[in-house]
Amino acid sequence: NAGVTQTPKFQVLKTGQSMTLQCAQDMNHNSMYWYRQDPGMGLRLIYYSASEGTTDKGEVPNGYNVSRLNKREFSLRLESAAPSQTSVYFCASSDGANYGYTFGSGTRLTVV
Amino acid sequence: SQELEQSPQSLIVQEGKNLTINCTSSKTLYGLYWYKQKYGEGLIFLMMLQKGGEEKSHEKITAKLDEKKQQSSLHITASQPSHAGIYLCGADLPNDYKLSFGAGTTVTVRA
């Protein structure tokens, strides 16, 4: 089925470890996004890429980096994981404003 | 996002009863989206509203956009266990082409 694919689904890291969350979409969407979801806080935007070759910070970018590898793929990297980064991470894509987003199934990350 | 307030934060409803969730914006709404999330899963798109006074329905779920009040409501008629989950509103806000989201409303349906 067409959509947004995220890997891995679950991950446990030790403080200070690094990892990359992968995201790929096959809908030929221009824009891609990374959100984190925490209890009582809804979805907060980490980084986004309005189009291939561009990336911009969102609401909570500290501690993260991103790469828009090509039109399909948008990865999120944690260079030195901290317990405060324990969260559920969602990748999304869209074809521009007013078209809504398609979300991946999420990555549940725990940093101990 | 503090720009979108959802109420209530959570609710428990008896199966067969109706329920309403509200989403209020501190800024003008250009587009309002409703999503549903089941625990451990991604967000599923429900519907999108763009025009003041617009109302859309899908099965037993109806959403309205009151542009003057900068508010949207989601109404579920005769709730079923399948309606349980977290409902989130998202909005296109002025000068921002990224969606901002409310904190979500957790719905529990009791048999």
> pLDDT per residue over A55-67, tens digit each?
999 989 999 999 9
Cβ-defined contact of A105 to B45 (cutoff 8 Å): no
Cβ-defined contact of B92 to A98 (cutoff 8 Å): yes
Is residue B63 within 8 Å of B56, Cβ to Cβ? yes
> How many whole angstroms separate alpha carbon B28 and alpha carbon A73?
33
Chain segment A69-85, per-residue pLDDT in tens: 899 999 999 999 999 99
Mean pLDDT of residues grouped by 10 in chain B (111 residues)? 84 97 87 88 88 88 87 96 94 73 94 90
Cβ-defined contact of B40 to A108 (cutoff 8 Å): yes
B19 forms beta bridges with B76
